[in-house]
Structure 1
Amino acid sequence: MSILTINLFFEVSFTQFHSSLIALITESTTIDVTHYEDIPDEKKRFVVEDFEKMMFHQLEQSVPDYLIIDFYSDALKNVGYLDKEIAITISPIIEQSRIKDELTFTRILDHSDNEKYLSEWRKALQEFKKRIQPYFNNNQIIINFCELTTKYYDENKKSPILSKPRPNSCLQCVLEPAKRRVPKRISRCA
């Protein structure tokens, strides 16, 4: 179910796009993105929300009926630490902007060592669960389980080979622990 489809059936209280659980549970910081002309205006808020860790404040303010989680950022994107306490998701927005070159990372957590990444991610998942428990019962949490495509069709209905294969194994490394650690009664969307 895409975000567009969800909007047809539900009133969306808020969205938190392009944020890793690891980044979400770290301390917040501020950033002024108004002068980054290479970030589209409609996407600037996603960068600010990741830096300022606004999700938990938004949960408190809106008290939504359901929480829909997609772990794509956790499976595919790196996490950059600005210091020991502050991390951000190196989202596609940041990857494609000069902001990435202007940030000073003390450490980048990437998927080159999946065991290390997953060790930190599991800790973040536990903390995330603690933080959302006041707002949701188990049956109010929906996890979007998915796989990345290994082929696609272009405008000529040809199926070109992906120049960079999508790492489904990495995605599965994130989703499998989530399936085990999140309570069994949680609804799952396929």
Structure 2
Amino acid sequence: MKIKVSTLGSCMTRDPFNSLFNPNYKDFYKLSVNQFHTSIISLMSKPIEYDSTKFNYVESVKEFADWHFRTELNKRFLNDLVLSQPDYLIIDFYADIHFGVIKVGESYLTNKEYSYKKNELWNILNHGAHYNVELDFVAFFEIFKKALDEFIAFVNKYLKKTIIIVNQARYTYEYWDSVNKKVNIFGRKTPEEYLELNKLWSELDNYILKNPNVRSISYDKKYYADPNYRFGGLDDVHYMHNYYDDFLKKILAITFNDLTNQNIDLEPTIVEGNLIQNSKFAFGNSSWKVFNPQIFSIQDEMLTVSAHGNIENKWNQIVSEAIEVAENDRLYFSFKFEAIDLSDMEDTDPIVIIRTFEKRNVFKAKDAIKEIKITKSEVLEQLSEKSTNYFIREVELEGKYVKVIPYLKKNGSYNLTELQLSYADGGYQVALNELH
């Protein structure tokens, strides 16, 4: 049985769990959910309601940048983390030190404005104050400490078996010039500025390390930056290969010591919880891709699907954000259903479609590994037998990502709410990150 690991941080923490850097890491570890470049302040703030029809890019971005912005808005990593129940959560505070945060309404986003401003939505969000460690460390640190305290409380409540490990790698401003055989200085800042930032970084680390049962990985040598780094080239946290060797050795030492002393339990934990973000539509159409707002309207925590008079099929749909799942997961899918007018809808027409994919940014049937159609006749038959308006079905998934898709092939009218995809068949729950 492999040790389940999740990461929250930057390249220095995520890339050691990549076969390009450590070819044999999968012999020991299974990488579970991970979150990249997100401040702990952003993570622990409230999900941000937004109009998904405005989530459009004015210039193209990579899939990673798109997904990062979405998770910054919905804070879904907390939900995914709880449902995953990793044995270890390895974190670094690079995003806090490097980007700081910006207040948006009553919430916060990691301040990657250079990336977010490529999206039309950015310009209509309610921007507020910026908090940056270099400009005002005292103000930033006060917000950070509050968020960190909330994070530890969240972990203690929902992740009782998870051990936090803080990765204490730091900025480097030197790289080895293999052509001229010498060390060169580089970077966006002076060496003195980098050293000062590293001191502030240590203050963030020291604050979390005051908590019992929080471990750390520290380093007693200097690591040079790699000019030929596989993802992004020369950068102040892109190290030469010896760093990734050392990181893995240190993690192995911690985890194997815990196994020897029976400090961790590797038996899987199944947790009740909803994998679907904004499943009750309390945040409007946030976390849903809406193709035709006239057919899919949201009001009072209810999705109304309605169209009549069509002669040809229209294949209208509203698509959830990608939900990362394990291969061959068996889950329970349920929703609350109310028929309005199904008279011109065929019995075989789907009410909801579940599709699974290998890639996160696709949604069409032609790209799906598996498609599960929940039809009008199946829904009405079950609800009639149960004398209830809650439909539930066990589904077996294939692939890495799943998307839930309320659907209207041609005509019909009905209401949907309280959609749930979960590992247990208990009563309806909102996503855990929407509770804190």
Alignment correspondent of 1:5: 16
Conserved? CA contact 1:22–1:79, under 8 Å:
yes
Q: Which amino acid aligns with 1:66?
A: Y
Alignment correspondent of 1:16: 35
The counterpart of 2:187, out of the listed 149, 157, 162, is: 162
Cα–Cα, structure 1 residues 187 and 176, in superposed 2: closer, same or farther, change >3 Å?
A: closer
Cα–Cα, structure 1 residues 36 and 127, in superposed 2: closer, same or farther, change >3 Å?
A: farther
Listed as ranges, the matches of 1:24-63 within 5 Å are 24-30=43-49, 32=52, 33-63=55-85
Counting strand residues as a fraction of each chain, which structure ranks higher?
2
Report the secondary structure of 1:162's partner residue.
coil
The counterpart of 2:148, out of the listed 125, 129, 137, is: 125
Displacement, 1:6? 2.3
Provide TM-score, normalisation by structure 2. 0.39
**Relative contact order: is structure 1 or structure 2 higher (C-alpha 8 Å, sep ≥ 6)?**
1
In structure 2, the gaps of 5 or more residues are 1-11, 19-24, 219-436
Cα–Cα, structure 1 residues 154 and 87, in superposed 2: closer, same or farther, change >3 Å?
A: farther
Counting helix residues as a fraction of each chain, which structure ranks higher?
1
In structure 1, the gaps of 5 or more residues are none
Conserved? CA contact 2:40–2:147, under 8 Å:
yes
Cα–Cα, structure 1 residues 96 and 43, in superposed 2: closer, same or farther, change >3 Å?
A: closer
Cα–Cα, structure 1 residues 34 and 41, in superposed 2: closer, same or farther, change >3 Å?
A: farther
Alignment correspondent of 1:187: 215
Conserved? CA contact 1:78–1:90, under 8 Å:
yes
Conserved? CA contact 1:23–1:87, under 8 Å:
yes
CA RMSD, aligned part only?
2.5
- Mark the structure with the bigger radius of gyration: 2
Provide TM-score, normalisation by structure 1. 0.83
Alignment correspondent of 2:262: none
Aligned length: 184
Displacement, 1:16? 0.8
Cα–Cα, structure 1 residues 11 and 80, in superposed 2: closer, same or farther, change >3 Å?
A: same
Displacement, 1:51? 1.2
Alignment correspondent of 2:205: 175
The counterpart of 1:88, out of the listed 109, 120, 123, is: 109
Q: Which amino acid aligns with 1:118?
A: F
Cα–Cα, structure 1 residues 53 and 168, in superposed 2: closer, same or farther, change >3 Å?
A: same
Identical amino acids, percent of aligned pairs = 23
2: CA distance between counterparts of 1:35 and 1:13? Answer: 29
Q: Deviations along 1:138-161, whole A, 9 cap, x unmatched?
A: 6x2111112211322357455134
